[in-house]
Structure 1
Amino acid sequence: MKPFLASLLESSLHSFPKLSSTHCHAIKHGYITDVYISNRVLDSYVKSDFLGHAHNLFDEMPHRDTVSWNTMISGYTSSGKLNNAWCLFTGMRRSGSDADGYSFSRLLKGVASAKRFDLGEQVHSLVIKGGYESNVYVGSALVDMYAKCERVEDAFEAFREISEANSVSWNALIGGFVQVRDVETAFWLFGCMEMMMMDDGTFAPLLTLLDDPLLCNLLKEVHGKVLMLGLEKEITICNAMVRSYADCGSVSDAKRVFDGLGGSKDLITWNSMLAGFSKLEQKDSAFELFIEMLRTRNEIDVYTYTSIISTCCGEEHQVFGRSLHCLVIKKGLKQVTSVSNALISMYIQFPTCAMNDALSLFESLEAKDLVSWNSVLTGLSQKGPSEDAVKFFTYLRSLNTEVDDYAFSAVLRSCSDLATLQLGQQVHALAIKSSFESNEFVASSLILMYSKCGVIQNARKCFEKISSTHSTVVWNAMILGYAQHGSGQVSLSLFSQMCNQNVKLDHVTFTAVLTACSHSGLVQEGLKLLRLMEPVYKIQPRMEHYAAAVDLLGRAGLVKEAKELIESMPLSPDPMVLKTFLGVCRACGEIEMATQVANHLLEMEPDDHFTYVSLSHMYSDAKKWEEKASVKKVMKERGVKKVPGWSWIEIRNEVCAFNAEDRSHPLCEEIYLMVEDLTQEMKWFETDNEFDEQASLLDVNHS
């Protein structure tokens, strides 16, 4: 009869009606009193995740053995219910049942998942008391527990106690050092491990550490071992390798691994490749891959949509981005918070008029999370007017909604743009109160705020408090702060310290340093850095680096050299580079060259007012009135209007904004009267200076 019940239980898995029927059958025929049969029914309930019914049966069992207790403990730990498992383990010991290796290993698994180091230590003491520390299964569970609790030294000691370590033990130990990002120790252990023991559990965690261009050669060595062991078709390894190659900047190698999987790719493979294209700004490749996913009817999840939506970040991608929005609505994902958040961020990065679309989407989203609020706050901070971002931050706090480091960072950047020192100091105080002052993003925003408000000493104090964390964004902010203050040598000194202290450099670092060189006239130093970026620092120059270098040469009056640099660029110059060069030509009085650049810019961006205004001012400076009139005429014909500039002033903790000919302020009459008085005073001052100068010349001539 027992084999018949066993077959019934196997066929009843995951079907409660069948399972309960089999349970009733066992009760009816009196088999439920048999511990073996009860344990089989109990195990079936647990495997089917019917823990409530399993616990009822467990309580009704007249006889329990170690297997009964272990089955329940295993069920609760697998379901993430450590407290229930711990109560059962305590009850097991009180009932006189002896815990065995399986009991300890299953309980330690739950402790590791919950990262309850305090409970783990108690279990470890019981393991030693029971003499199980050399047991490979218990030992591996101890290593895994300490590793996941980030106690890697304790994990290493537990590993040494195992009599014969297996691949599970090695993988758990290596995984611990991977978790704390100790690259050197993780790969030292990898080198000590026998190749026959290596599997996907070994390689997949290690590959997550290889996310820097400087580690690309090491990644290729690991790839070689994967090929030697014949694991190149293991999907978890390949997925991790696609992501690592992309993180190292080698998208061609990532695509080679991706293509090598053929038809065995899973959704993670496709998403990893899509994320790689997106991260490396190969937008066209990302779009093509997404369309291929749609055509081949591959499964597409929320991560797929958020990845491809985040790729649409420029004016040229508006049509594709809005099409994706339509697809999201069609698929019924509009109220999925993460997808809507990605759409909000996408619209924010479109031209200013799309900010209304972002706000509309935000208001229609039912389940807003912190990312939703932060996305809008960041958008208002970036697109302005900046005082709206400050008001939104105040509104956010009034709702008792959690305010995190991103919110503080965004509002501090708005304070920087407004140059409102008093308001920035108040936000700084609030950040200290909320324990966010030491956060790298908040600290970098504080540095920029104080720098733009002219208080470089306070910026340096903020930097000194956090510089030891080796945060790239903080160092970049401080370098840029000194650059804005014309202290190029200090910026270069900080750059040298970054290199000496192994602080990770990125493209923003070089933008900041080149800007510092530009503002301080350090031409040779800046050009040398640009030349060494790719061969020495493994960072490929971007358009912003070339724009900074053009500005560097232009400020030194080296127009010809700036032109030669643009012509030698590996990529066609974008509007940012050309606008910088146009400014250089205007400053140096190179009207003919400026006209050529302007014509090229007008072809690229016919609706942008910058080029028209720059040309108009340049013709005014040269007293070429006909040419200026011609520019004005073209602007009018094309409907291009100059975007008015804004000015802000902080009065009694309130930010007031003004633009040209603005009369919206309630005190505008008094303001304009004051402006007229100040203008008249400046004219008198200028007249007095001219009179004094002429009098001095007469005195000299008379002498």
Structure 2
Amino acid sequence: MRLLHSPIGSSVNPFLKVLITHSWAIKSATISDVYIANNILSGYSRCQESRLAHQLFDEIAQRDTVSWNTMIAGNVNRGDFDSAWDFLKNMKKCGLQLDGYTFGSLLKGVACAQQWGTGQQVHSMIVKMGYAENVYCGSALVDMYAKCGRVDDAVLVFEHMPECNSVSWNALISGYVQVGDRGTAFLLFACMEQEGLKIDDGTIAPLMTLLDDAEFYKPTMQIHGKAIKHGLEFENKVCNATITSYSQCGSIADAEKVFDGSFGARDLVTWNSIIGAYLVHNKEECAFNVFIDMQRLGFEPDIYSYTSIISACFDETHKKHGKSLHGLVIKRGLEQSVPVCNALTTMYLKSNSRSMVEPLSIFESMELKDRVSWNSILTGFSQIGLSEDALKFFGHMRLAILEIDHYSFSAVLRSCADLATLQLGQQVHVLALKSGLDSNEFVVSALIFMYAKCGIIEDARKSFEENPKDSSITWNSIIFAYAQHGQGHIALDLFSQMKRQEVKLDHITFVAVLTACSHNGLVEEGCKLLKTMECNYGIPLRMEHYACAVDLYGRAGRLEEAKALVESMPFEPNATVWQTLLGACRACGNIELASQVGNHLLDAEPEDHCTYVLLSDLYGHLRRWDERASVKRLMKQRGVKKVPGWSWIEIKNQVHAFKAEDRLHANCDDIYFVLGVFMDEIMRLYKVDDLEVLTY
């Protein structure tokens, strides 16, 4: 039996070592020795070779408790708790004595399967068989209750243990970490130190996960110092948790130092941790380089590696990376991995906001789909403006007997809002009520948006008032709703209420309030907010705030101030800001500045039809026909087409869509006949001689 433990065999594949040992035992006729058979059985279990383990177990003539415990532990470790439980029942039938290792393995399986009720049964067996005071069983019970979210039960077990070791304390600390009780978790850590108990990676690593915000930077440094003091800084769990903690506390430099210092102790999680850290800090190129380095050094990426790095490939500069990663996924045989496919779907949706071809292709090729898969496509349809397709897809989701969650409801309500289909929106509202998701902050936000877009501001306010008001998401939505309805003063009153109730303000809150000021000519109020955002509220100005401010000045006819604001921006204005300024030029009739801004946009965004339309309309309004013809000619040369505007009307729960000069509707002759009657009546009533008639 030396081969399984010999240094000579350490470089051999573990599974191959077990096979060789098994062959040697058969050849030497020692396989009948239960000690040797159990060692081989343990080897197969560690290698996740359940079929060979079961086969050998069946061949052992004189099984002992170790044989059964090995099979129970093997099934637990590979996530098959039901099989482990069956082995336990058969073990009892065979009259074999359960011991601390049996219970320890079972409780580990209970914790992983989150089967708290079964855990209570095991607890009863432990008490009945006299193992209640066994430190190994007690620690396993504390761990089980803690991982099942029953921290109070874990404390009771802990307090009744005659002796608590580091494992028991670590299990209890992990329980408080899991429920987010930062104070108690760190208090227990301090008690461990006072009692002189051994601090190990199972103590430090969970605590690090609680330090996930800039305000915890100093505590992160202190816990890191404790890890160094106890010689744990190179332990994988501690190293990985420290990288993540520094990153979430805002210090990518410290995360890099920890990663660089862990050269000889890195595992796959270490590489994934630094990739995640770079992505959190928008350092996509660094993340791509790490992804390449890890493979060069022999670390095969796992599903987390792929989903993380794929999520970074959404902007124009990284599109090629996304395509390459898609090819690598296919090459590695992961094209049917649901998380990877979901990440690819999201990547294509973000990188191309005008097409659903690639996301749908991935979705349709998936043999298995989860809720994320369906919601990604539904959200894609909604965000891209294919609202009718979104509604049809939502119907398919319901027919597929798929559980509809708050993401689904939010997306479909947004589509109802875009189509202004009030009746359909109300039906979705009823479905959300039946599902118990009507009070979810994202669903409430979508309901407010839907009712506001359908013109029913009273129902939007009702949805806001009838639900919890502790989230900025719902406050932002109702402020936007009143802003869009031209009720700026009410929007500002809601903003004041939001501050009084100490709801956390975010950058979207200020976009909503600035929009309200812009739409209602509240220039001074908007300017004051713009100047005090960072100093009073700690929210730095973003691109969208500048766009709102430019619109605010433009609508008020203060074009010079709008221009000065754009010129003073601390970063390069994007197309939205320039288009907003162009709109302000059009409103103020400043042809010279409009031409400058328009030419800049035509160079920067040659495929966007909006700039051409704005310039063409402006030149036409000022009767500068040569310039207008020049813009139309350039538009034609570049193959840019104006995207037609659509109108929707809902009749008897059916949506009808129209565009200018549309003759596709089945009842178009009747529709145009009625329109003609209306136009005749208008001309008769108002006696208009030179009325521009709709072009049919």
Q: TM-score, normalised by structure 1?
A: 0.83
The residue number in structure 1 matching 2:255 is: 254
- Sequence identity percentage: 54
Name the CA shift for 1:71/1:256 in 2 (closer, same or farther; >3 Å): closer
* 8 Å contact kept, 2:240–2:273: yes
The answer on 1:552 being equivalent to 2:580 is no
Q: Which residue of 1 aligns with 2:693?
A: none
Can you list the C-alpha shifts for 1:367-391, whole angstroms capped at 9, x where unaligned? 4444333322222222233112212
How many residue pairs are counted as aligned between the two chains?
A: 677
Task: State the 1:144 CA deviation.
Answer: 1.1
Asked if structure 2 preserves the Cα contact closer than 8 Å seen for 1:46 and 1:54, the reply is: no
Asked whether the equivalents of residues 486 and 516 of structure 2 are also in contact (C-alpha less than 8 Å), the reply is yes
* Equivalence for 2:182: 183
Structure 1 position 239 matched with structure 2 position 222: no
Tell me, in whole angstroms, the C-alpha distance in 1 between the residues paired with 2:299 and 2:98. 48
Secondary structure at the residue paired with 1:641?
coil
Shift in CA distance, 47/373, structure 1 to aligned 2, threshold 3 Å: closer
Residue identity in the other structure for 2:567? E
Matched, 1:600 2:603: no
* Shift, 1:422, TM fit: 0.7
How has the CA–CA distance of structure 1 residues 525 and 202 changed in structure 2, closer, same or farther, with 3 Å as cutoff? farther
**Counterpart-to-counterpart distance in 2, 1:123 and 1:315:** 56
Q: Note the C-alpha offset of 1:38.
A: 7.5
1:147 aligned residue: 146
Contact (CA 8 Å) 2:429, 2:438: kept in 1 or not?
Answer: yes
The AA in structure 2 aligned to 1:661 is E
8 A contact 2:180–2:210 mirrored in 1: yes
Identify the residue that residue 52 of structure 1 maps to in structure 2. Answer: 54
Partner in structure 2 of residue 443 of structure 1 = 444
Q: Which residue of 2 aligns with 1:700?
A: none
Q: Does structure 2 conserve the Cα–Cα contact (< 8 Å) formed by 1:23 and 1:41?
A: no
Matching of residue 640 in structure 1 with residue 643 in structure 2: no
Measured in 1, the distance between the counterparts of 2:488 and 2:192 equals 49
Tell me how far 1:117 sits from its aligned partner.
1.9
Instruction: Provide the secondary structure at the position in 1 that maps to 2:657.
Output: strand
Change over 3 Å in CA distance of 1:94–1:463 after alignment to 2:
farther
- Show the counterpart of 2:408: 407
- Residue 650 of structure 2 aligns to a residue whose secondary structure is strand
Query: Is the deviation greater in 279-288 or in 17-26?
Result: 17-26
User: Is 607-616 or 95-104 further displaced after alignment?
Assistant: 95-104
How far apart, CA to CA, are the structure 2 residues paired with 1:103 and 1:502?
Answer: 52
Query: How has the CA–CA distance of structure 1 residues 25 and 288 changed in structure 2, closer, same or farther, with 3 Å as cutoff?
Result: closer
Mapped pair 1:613 → 2:613: yes
SS, match of residue 573 in structure 1? coil
What are the within-5 Å matches in structure 2 for residues 15-54 of structure 1?
15-16=18-19, 18-19=21-22, 22=25, 49=50, 50-53=52-55
Aligned to 1:121: 120
Q: CA deviation at 1:248?
A: 4.2
1:415 partner letter: C
Unaligned runs of 5+ in 2: 691-696
**Residue 402 (structure 1) shift:** 4.8
Q: What's 1:137 paired with?
A: 136
Partner of 1:694: none
Classify the secondary structure of the residue corresponding to 2:238. Answer: helix
The match for 2:201 is 200
Q: Is the 8 A contact 2:451 2:457 kept in 1?
A: yes
Superposition deviation, residue 414 in structure 1: 0.9
Q: What is the root-mean-square deviation of aligned Cα atoms in Å?
A: 3.8
Structure 1 residues 78 and 503, CA gap change in structure 2 (3 angstroms): farther
Deviations 1:101-125 (A, max 9, x none): 4444333222222222223334445
1:213/1:616 Cα in 2 relative to 1: closer, same or farther (>3 Å)? farther
Instruction: Mark the CA change 1:301 to 1:85 in structure 2 (over 3 Å): closer, same or farther.
Output: closer
Given the superposition, is the C-alpha separation of residues 242 and 573 from structure 1 closer, same or farther in structure 2, using an over 3 Å criterion?
farther
1:213·1:538 contact (CA, 8 Å) conserved in 2?
A: no
Distance 2:514 2:222 in 1: 35
Listed as ranges, the matches of 1:167-178 within 5 Å are 167-178=166-177
Task: Indicate if the aligned counterparts of 1:550 and 1:562 stay in contact, CA closer than 8 A.
Answer: yes
SS in 1 for 2:356: helix
Give the distance between the partners of 2:373 and 2:589, measured in 1 at CA: 48
Instruction: Give the deviation of 1:503 after TM superposition.
Output: 5.4
SS of 2:642 mapped into structure 1: coil
Contact 1:207 1:241 in 2 (8 A): yes
TM-score (normalised: structure 2): 0.84
Specify the alignment match of 2:348 in structure 1. 347
Is the CA contact 1:310–1:346 (under 8 Å) kept in the aligned structure 2? yes
Distance 1:630 1:88, change over 3 A: closer
Cα separation, 1, equivalents of 2:98 and 2:265: 43
Change (3 A) 1:287 1:22: closer
C-alpha distance in 2, partners of 1:483/1:298? 53
Structure 1 residue 610 displacement after superposition = 1.4
Deviation of the 1:577 alpha carbon? 1.6
Kindly tell me: are residues 619 and 540 of structure 1, through their superposed partners in 2, closer, same or farther at Cα, counting changes over 3 Å?
A: same
Cα contact 2:30–2:36 (8 A) shared by 1: no
Displacement of 1:575 = 0.9
Question: 8 Å contact 2:235–2:265 — kept in the other structure?
Answer: no
Q: Once the 2 structures are TM-superposed, how far is the Cα of residue 458 of structure 1 from its aligned partner?
A: 2.8
Residue in structure 2 matched with residue 565 of structure 1 by the alignment: 565
- The range that moved more, 500-509 or 669-678, is 500-509
C-alpha distance 267-39 of structure 1, shift in aligned 2 (>3 A): closer
Amino acid at match of 2:657: A
Mind listing any 5+ residue stretches in structure 1 that lack a counterpart?
1-5, 691-703
- Asked if 2 retains the 8 angstrom alpha-carbon contact of 1:214 and 1:538, the reply is no
Give the distance between the partners of 1:354 and 1:591, measured in 2 at CA. Answer: 35
Q: Given the superposition, is the C-alpha separation of residues 325 and 149 from structure 1 closer, same or farther in structure 2, using an over 3 Å criterion? A: closer
Show CA shifts across 1:599-654 (max 9, x none): 22222112212122222223334444443333333333433322211111112221
Displacement of 1:392 in angstroms is 2.3
